[in-house]
Amino acid sequence: MHPLNMQGRVAVITGGAQGIGYASAARMLASGASVVLWDIDAERLAQAVQTLSAMPETQDRARGRVTAGVVELTDEASVQAATAAAIETHGRIDILVNNAGITGGNGSTWELDPAVWRRVLEVNLVGPYLTCRAIVPQMLRQAYGRIVNIASIAGKEGNPNASHYSASKAGLIGLTKSLAKEVATRGVLVNAVTPAAAKTAIFDSMKQEHIDFMLSKIPMGRFLQVDEAASMIGWLASEECAFSTGAVFDLSGGRATY
């Protein structure tokens, strides 16, 4: 793993207790950043903090600190309180990775329960809006920030039997592009990644036929590894990413066609 120069930076990672969020936290810690994990699962969060805190120091830079907060990302007050706590503890927020997301299961559009449909939109799209709304003003005061939104290839192509998930991720791509233009001259860069499926706990809420469908669409014939996602996210969250904003970076194993 090639370390990036993130010494002194502070990253907030939503859904950081597992999967891509956890892998991204490990990558950033190894690169010198301090990391604040936000998650709704208190037990997983505590375990993640414990294991990440036990990571060995690298030879060329000190590992950053790990803190955490139980946050309901769809609740404005919860997000605002967590943001204030992160700033009080670390003094700044340089990086935001909007990683938390749910699938809401699978079903035909006309068969999906409206409450489930709305919940997926709330977590996957309204949540990132609320985190950006809370954290971007701090980044503007610093004249520096990196935001990485974890969308999905489903947001570009629209997966059958996942209209709620696909729509939420398409919306996140749109949010990325709009926000990026708003802050383009103020030191804050906003990008998205569109992974193909990574075999994480999110698979537990999917039907096997949907999992098989996703694998069949990937020319490389395998699922994404979370460390591969963390590599791209880490670069987008670093100072080395200096002229890419409002962009969508594919992690699809050859599936994406545009």
Q: What integer pLDDT is reported at residue 42 of this predicted model?
A: 97
CA atoms within 13 Å, Cβ hemisphere of 224? 28
Q: What integer pLDDT is reported at residue 145 of this predicted model?
A: 98
Q: What integer pLDDT is reported at residue 205 of this predicted model?
A: 65
Could you read off the pLDDT tens digit of each residue along the chain, which spans 258 residues?
Answer: 567 889 999 999 999 999 999 999 999 999 999 999 999 999 999 999 999 999 887 555 567 899 999 999 999 999 999 999 999 999 999 999 999 999 999 999 999 999 999 999 999 999 999 999 999 999 999 999 999 999 999 999 999 999 999 999 999 999 999 999 999 999 999 999 999 888 776 666 677 887 888 888 889 889 889 999 999 999 999 999 999 999 999 998 888 877
Q: What integer pLDDT is reported at residue 194 of this predicted model?
A: 96
Instruction: Evaluate whether 193 touches 23 at the Cβ level (below 8 Å).
Output: no
Which residue shows structure tokens 């520096």?
Answer: 144
Q: What integer pLDDT is reported at residue 208 of this predicted model?
A: 86
Q: What integer pLDDT is reported at residue 210 of this predicted model?
A: 77
Q: Could you give the C-alpha distances from 207 to 168, 192, 195, in angstroms and in order? A: 19, 26, 19
Domain borders along the chain are: 10-242
Taking domain 10-242, whether its CATH number is 3.30.497.10 is answered by no
Q: What integer pLDDT is reported at residue 190 of this predicted model?
A: 98
Identify residue 145 by its one-letter amino acid code: G
Give the SS3 label for residue 150: strand
CA atoms within 13 Å, Cβ hemisphere of 12? 35
Could you give the residue numbers annotated as active site? 165
What lies within 8 Å, CB to CB, of 26 at 6+ separation is 52, 55, 230
Q: What integer pLDDT is reported at residue 115 of this predicted model?
A: 98
Instruction: Evaluate whether 38 touches 9 at the Cβ level (below 8 Å).
Output: no
